[in-house]
Amino acid sequence: MRIRVFAALVALFAVWVWVDARAQSGGPTVSGAHRFEKVAEGVYYATASGTMNVGANSPIIVSGDEALVIDSEITPAAARALVADLKAVTDKPVRYVVDSHYHYDHSHGNQVFMRDAQVIGHDNTRTRMLGNVLEQYTYLNSIKPIPERVAALRQRIAQESDPQQKKALEQQVANSLAYLEQVKETTVTPPAVTFDKTMTIVKGGREMRLLYLGRGHTDTDVVVYLPKERIVATGDLMESVVSYMGDSFPEDWIATLDRLKALDFDTVMPGHGVVFHGKGKIEAFQKYLRDVITQATAMKKQGLSADDAALKIDATAYKNEFASIRGVGVDPAAVRRIYQLADRPE
């Protein structure tokens, strides 16, 4: 008996040490629809906590008495949640929003910030958002498959016996259905402050450089670089997962990533995935792009359709860097884009 009490005390002590270590290392703060990871003093990385579809991850930079948010998220509802949830880590108001690029999951919360903040983006982001982005296939592909996906999830729920798993699937259904309602509120709102090559914001002794390094994931990608902290927020120009290629300029992208690598940084806060360090992953993604372009181009010459080529392209050589690669085959949108640019260069 005495041994059991002792064991229980040891276990209790271990938990206490663990909890204390987490508190001291500043483990993530969960607040509403978001989870905030502290990356450096005043620098946070907001990701979804799972209760809502918020879209992209949003880096937050608090400088002096103001906060800058990179990406306004997927809907006005998500943006409002971000503003509210952010209070768990800072009481400073959001005065700047930077659109890393024009894609809906990064910029459709812009309207929420227009009154109290400067919404900044590349000249091309404004041009794109003044066009018909709500009819563009990348946006429509976020909406159209939902009913089918919900039906599939409901089937899995019916067969699931693990209550934890069941609950997670039910949350996914709820988030998807809520998203279909939340998009109705969207008024596409382009950035009101735009630039072409660079723009620098200095606040509270912190320098934030907004850079357009060339075409890549889109023709609107802006990175936010903190030279002193050696941190860069890359949007979807560089992710810790394989970035979407459906609106990309794959050849230019490789060269643009060379210009990204030329910056002096250690920490990357990407638009999707997780914070990562160093330049090895960027190098790997450049090789991935080169490889996918080469294979797609060869298959086009052989007369394969883009969708057939997508099933055959083998990028498994990169699965150690990008865990989402599980077997042969790539996103058909990537191959369609490569085919399209081969026929009609932009």
Q: Which residues bind Zn ion (CB under 5 A)?
A: 103, 236
- Nearest approach, Cβ of 337 to Zn ion (angstroms)? 13
And the tokens for 308? 């057939």
Handedness of CA 215, 233, 129, 63 (dihedral sign): negative
Q: Which is nearer to Zn ion, 42 or 270 (CB)?
A: 270
What is the three-state SS of the chain? CHHHHHHHHHHHHHHHHHHHHHHHCCCCEEECCEEEEEEECCEEEEEECCCCCCCCCEEEEEECCEEEEECCECCHHHHHHHHHHHHHCCCCCEEEEECCCCCHHHHCCHHHHCCCCEEEEEHHHHHHHHCCHHHCHHHHHHHCCHHHHHHHHHHHHHHCCCHHHHHHHHHHHHHHHHHHHHHHHCCCCCCCEEECCEEEEEECCEEEEEEECCCCCCCCCEEEEECCCCEEEEECCCCCCCCCCCCCCHHHHHHHHHHHHCCCCCEEEECCCCCEECCHHHHHHHHHHHHHHHHHHHHHHCCCCHHHHHHHCCCHHHCCCCCCCCCCCCCHHHHHHHHHHHHCCC
- Nearest approach, Cβ of 217 to Zn ion (angstroms)? 6
- Nearest approach, Cβ of 134 to Zn ion (angstroms)? 16
- Nearest approach, Cβ of 28 to Zn ion (angstroms)? 24
Q: Which is nearer to Zn ion, 229 or 236 (CB)?
A: 236
HSE-up of 325 (CA within 13 Å, CB side)?
Answer: 22
Q: Which residues contact 34 (CB under 8 A, 6 or more apart)?
A: 46, 47, 48, 49, 54, 81, 82, 85, 86
Q: Which is nearer to Zn ion, 95 or 272 (CB)?
A: 272
Q: Which is nearer to Zn ion, 219 or 236 (CB)?
A: 236
- Nearest approach, Cβ of 272 to Zn ion (angstroms)? 8
Q: Which is nearer to Zn ion, 85 or 236 (CB)?
A: 236
- Nearest approach, Cβ of 121 to Zn ion (angstroms)? 13
- Nearest approach, Cβ of 109 to Zn ion (angstroms)? 14
- Nearest approach, Cβ of 236 to Zn ion (angstroms)? 4
Contact 228, 200 (CB under 8 A): no
- Nearest approach, Cβ of 150 to Zn ion (angstroms)? 23
